[in-house]
Amino acid sequence: MTTISLVAGNCGRGRGYEDGRFEFRSNLYLGKDFLASDLFNNNPFRRKANGCLSKALKGFGNGNGRRFRVIARVKKGKKHDYPWPDNIDLDIKDGHLTYLSHFKPLAEKPKPVTLPFEKPLVDLEKKIIEVCRMADETGLDFTDQIGALENKYQQALKDLYTHLTPIQRLAIARHPNRPTALDHILNITEKWVELHGDRAGYDDPAMVTGIGTMDGKSYMFIGQQKGRNTKENIFRNFAMPTPHGYRKALRMMKYADHHGLPIVTFVDTPGAYADLKSEELGQGEAIANNLRTMFGLKVPIVTVVIGEGGSGGALAIACPNKLFMLENSVLYVASPEACAAILWKSSQAAPKAAEKLRITAQEHYKRKIADGIIPEPLGGAHADPVWTSQQIRLAITQAMDELTKMDMEELLHHRMLKFRSIGGFQEGKPVEPERKRNMKPSDASRLNAADIESDLEKLKKNILEAKVPSDPITDQAIEKLKQDVDNEVTRAFISMGLQEKLESLKLELSRASDNQTLNRNLKVKVDKLMQEFKQNLSRPGAHLGLKQKLEKLSMVSRLIEQKEKGEKLKAEINQKIPSEIKEKLEQLETAQANLSKGDPLDEDLVAEAVKAKKELIEVLKSANLEIVGVAKRKAAAELQEKIVNVKKEIDGEIERVIDVAGLHGKIEELKAEMVIDSSSPKVEKLQAEIKEEIRAALDDTALKQKVENLRREFATSSEEVIDEKVIDDKVIAENGRW
Whether residues 245 and 335 share a domain: the answer is yes
Range of 90-104, 325-339, 501-515, 525-539 with top mean pLDDT:
325-339
For residue 299, give the nearest of 415, 182, 181 by alpha carbon: 415
Q: What is the pLDDT of residue 10?
A: 43
Closest alpha carbon to 207 in 164, 259, 254, 269: 269
Mean pLDDT is highest, among 36-45, 525-534, 677-686, for: 525-534
- Tell me the three state secondary structure of residue 377: coil
Read off the pLDDT of residues 527-543 as tens digits, 9 standing for 90 and up: 888 888 888 777 766 77
Q: What crossing angle do the helices spanning 243-259 and 283-294 adopt, rounded to 10°?
A: 20
Cβ–Cβ under 8 Å, residues 289 and 248: no
- Report pLDDT for 603: 66
pLDDT-derived band at 568, boundaries 50, 70, 90: confident
In angstroms, the CA 165 to CA 230 distance is: 28
Looking at the structure, do residues 128 and 181 belong to the same domain, yes or no?
no
Whole-number pLDDT of residue 217: 94
Looking at the fold, whether 239 and 129 belong to one and the same domain comes out as no
d(C-alpha 213, C-alpha 209), whole Å: 13
Q: Is 235 exposed, middle or buried (0-12, 13-18, 19+ CB in 10 A)?
A: middle
Domain annotation covers residue 283: yes
User: Which pLDDT value is given to residue 32?
Assistant: 40
CA atoms within 13 A on the CB side of 403: 25
Res 35: pLDDT:
42
Q: Which of 731, 713, 723 is nearest to 629 (CA)?
A: 731
> Residue 64 pLDDT > 90, yes or no?
no
Better pLDDT: 423 or 74: 423
Report the range of poorest mean pLDDT among 86-95, 266-275, 630-639: 630-639
CATH number, domain with residue 182: 3.90.226.10
Higher per-residue pLDDT: 421 or 639: 421
Residue 238 sits in the same domain as residue 146: no
| Rounded Cα gap, residues 469 and 228, in angstroms | 73
Residue 576 CB contacts under 8 Å (≥ 6 apart), including other chains: 619, 622, 623
**What pLDDT is recorded for position 286?**
95
Tally of CA atoms within 13 A in the half-sphere of 277 that contains its CB? 4
Which residues, including other chains, have CB under 8 Å from residue 35's CB and lie 6 or more apart? none
- Classify 1 as helix, strand or coil: coil
Q: Is the predicted pLDDT of residue 76 greater than 70, yes or no?
A: no
* Calpha distance 117→205 (Å, rounded): 33
468, 563 in Cβ contact below 8 A? no
CB 459 within 8 A of CB 563: no
370, 325 contact by CB (below 8 A): yes
Of 127, 145, 163, the residue at which a domain comes to its end is: 163
Amino acid letter, 282: G
Look at 15-24, 328-337, 654-663 and tell me which has the smallest mean pLDDT. 15-24
| Residues 274, 157 within the same domain | no
Q: Which of 102-106, 217-221, 686-690 has the lowest mean pLDDT?
A: 102-106
**Sign of the dihedral defined by the CA atoms of residues 239, 242, 244, 247, in that order:** positive
| Model confidence pLDDT, tens digit, residues 602-659 | 666 667 667 777 776 776 666 666 665 555 544 555 666 777 777 778 878 888 777 7
Do 255 and 179 have their domain in common? yes
Query: Judging by beta carbons within 10 Å of its beta carbon (0-12, 13-18, 19+), is residue 180 exposed, middle or buried?
Result: buried
Indicate the DSSP class of residue 734. B
pLDDT value of position 241: 95
Among candidate residues 257, 342, 259, the one with its CA nearest the CA of residue 301:
257
pLDDT value for 93: 66
Least confident range of 126-135, 196-205, 617-626: 617-626
- The pLDDT > 90 percentage for the chain reads 31
Q: Which of 405, 421, 437 is the last residue of a domain?
A: 421
Residue 209 shares a structural domain with residue 158: no
Q: Is residue 448 part of a domain?
A: no
Helices of type H across 139-240: 143-161, 166-173, 181-188, 230-236
Higher per-residue pLDDT: 689 or 373: 373
- Domain match, 235 and 130 both: no
Q: Which of 171, 219, 178, 162 is nearest to 195 (CA)?
A: 219
Is the pLDDT score of 717 beyond 70? no
Of 387, 421, 455, the position where a domain reaches its end is: 421
Judgement on whether residues 311 and 339 belong to the same structural domain of the protein: yes
Confidence at residue 483, expressed as pLDDT on a 0 to 100 scale: 80
Residue 77 has pLDDT above 70, yes or no: no
520: confidence class by pLDDT, cuts 50, 70, 90: confident
Please give the tally of structural domains in the chain. Answer: 3
Per-residue model confidence (pLDDT) at position 458 = 62
Cα(622)–Cα(618) distance, integer angstroms: 6
Which pLDDT belongs to residue 5? 42
Q: Is residue 26 part of a domain?
A: no
Q: Give Cβ neighbours of residue 501 (< 8 Å, ≥ 6 apart).
A: 529
Query: 239-258, pLDDT tens digit by residue?
Result: 999 999 999 999 999 999 99
Distance CA 59, CA 722 (A): 124
Say what the pLDDT of residue 173 is.
94
- Between 53 and 266, the more confident residue is 266
Is 334 part of any domain?
yes
Lowest mean pLDDT among 112-116, 150-154, 236-240, 461-465: 461-465
Domain that holds residue 678: 639-718
Q: Are residues 295 and 313 in the same domain?
A: yes
Is 259 domain-assigned? yes
Per 3-state DSSP, what percentage of the chain is helix, strand, and coil (rounded to 5)? 55, 10, 35
- Residue of 430, 429, 436 whose CA lies nearest to 673: 436
pLDDT for residue 526 is more than 90: no
Q: Where do runs of H (alpha helix) occur along 404-448? A: 408-420
| Candidate from 425-434, 493-502, 548-557 with smallest mean pLDDT | 425-434
**Is 264 in the same domain as 394?**
yes
- Averaged pLDDT of the chain: 75
Sign of the Cα torsion 387, 390, 394, 400 reads: positive
Give the per-residue pLDDT at 52: 52
Distances (CA, A) of 309 to 313, 314, 328, 517: 8, 5, 12, 69
25 is a domain residue: no
CB 236 within 8 A of CB 226: yes
Domain contains 361: yes
Q: What is the mean pLDDT of residues 449-456?
A: 53
132 and 238 both lie in a single domain: no
Residue 133 pLDDT level (bands cut at 50, 70, 90): confident
State the average pLDDT over residues 153-169: 88
Q: pLDDT class for 596, splitting at 50, 70, 90?
A: low
- 322 and 303 in contact (C-beta within 8 Å)? yes
Q: What is the biggest distance separating any 2 CA atoms in the chain, rounded to whole angstroms?
A: 156
- CA dist 479 → 472, 474, 557 (Å): 10, 9, 12
pLDDT value at 450 more than 70: no
Q: Calculate mean pLDDT across residues 57-64.
A: 50
**Alpha-carbon gap, residue 331 to 329, rounded angstroms:** 7
In a domain, 8, yes or no: no
Mean pLDDT (whole number) for 308-325: 94
Report the percentage of the chain scoring pLDDT > 70: 66
Average pLDDT over every residue of 431-452: 49
pTM over cut 0.75: no
Q: Which pLDDT belongs to residue 14?
A: 43
Q: Please name the residues in contact with 737: beta carbons below 8 A apart, sequence gap of 6 or more.
A: 625, 626, 628
Q: What is the pLDDT of residue 597?
A: 59
